[in-house]
Chain A
Amino acid sequence: DTAVSQTPKYLVTQMGNDKSIKCEQNLGHDTMYWYKQDSKKFLKIMFSYNNKELIINETVPNRFSPKSPDKAHLNLHINSLELGDSAVYFCASSQGRYGEKLFFGSGTQLSVL
């Protein structure tokens, strides 16, 4: 049983397109996150939701819009994709908005051509 699952695993698209990445967790956690890992493996938080409420919103272009239909799902929609958006995007979850143990998905490799 996969605890935090992301789809798709790989996403190759052209500049200017709009794409979505989906994330689901079956751990019963109430907090979910999106992290971006660049080509140098640097990981940076983008967003966090607690019980469908946005609690962390880092300095991210407004082309990125997270959506949490329920506490088990956190999707990431990206408009007008740019070359610099190419990265690996990780979804994660934890119990409680200050839960110290994060469970990560296996990542979505986004390549913008």
Chain B
Amino acid sequence: AQSVTQLDSQVPVFEEAPVELRCNYSSSVSVYLFWYVQYPNQGLQLLLKYLSGSTLVKGINGFEAEFNKSQTSFHLRKPSVHISDTAEYFCAVSGSWLTGGGNKLTFGTGTQLKVEL
């Protein structure tokens, strides 16, 4: 079984400040990790993903995330946020294909990033 924990339900930050959104996961098998963003009244869009290789992955809109296996974390960071980054961010894990189950993403409960002037 897999699970994802996003400890922060809301993160307020001023424009041009750095931000980190935290994500921890648990799984008994190797996993793939994802961050999705949901803008108001829209579906989710993939920000970035970790499948294998370099533990630092870069995504769209200047976001990056680091996979830390020992801490079972996949925190999302951006060095300088913009008002347009205000959205809900979801961390997700997938590994069920190892048991032939198809791609079943398990999502965290989301973190609302609110960027203020």
Contact = CB atoms under 8 A, between A and B. Distances in A.
Interface string A44-70: 110010100001101000000000000
A93 to B, nearest CB: 11
A70 to B, nearest CB: 19
B43 A45 contact: no
Interface in B16-37: 32, 34, 36
B101 A56 contact: yes
Interface in A76-113: 90, 92, 94, 97-107
A85 to B, nearest CB: 19
A98 B98 CA distance: 10
The contact size tier of chain B is 20 to 34
Given A41-B110, A43-B90, A107-B43, A102 B105 contact: yes
Interface residues of A, number: 27
Nearest to B46: A101
A29 to B, nearest CB: 12
B90 A100 contact: no
Given A31-B103, A42-B110, 7 more contacts: A98-B102, A99-B103, A100-B51, A101-B46, A104-B43, A104-B44, A106-B42
B45 to A, nearest CB: 7
A58 B104 CA distance: 10
Interface in A15-61: 31, 40-45, 48, 50, 55-56, 58
Interface of B: 32, 34, 36, 41-46, 49, 51, 88, 90, 94, 97, 101-105, 107, 109-110
Contacts of B102: 31, 48, 50, 55-56, 97-98
Nearest to B94: A100
Contacts of A4: 43
B107 A43 contact: yes
Q: Which of B41, B49, B103, B107: most chain A Cβ within 10 A? A: B103
B39 to A, nearest CB: 10
B45 A45 contact: no
A100 B42 contact: no
A38 B94 CA distance: 20
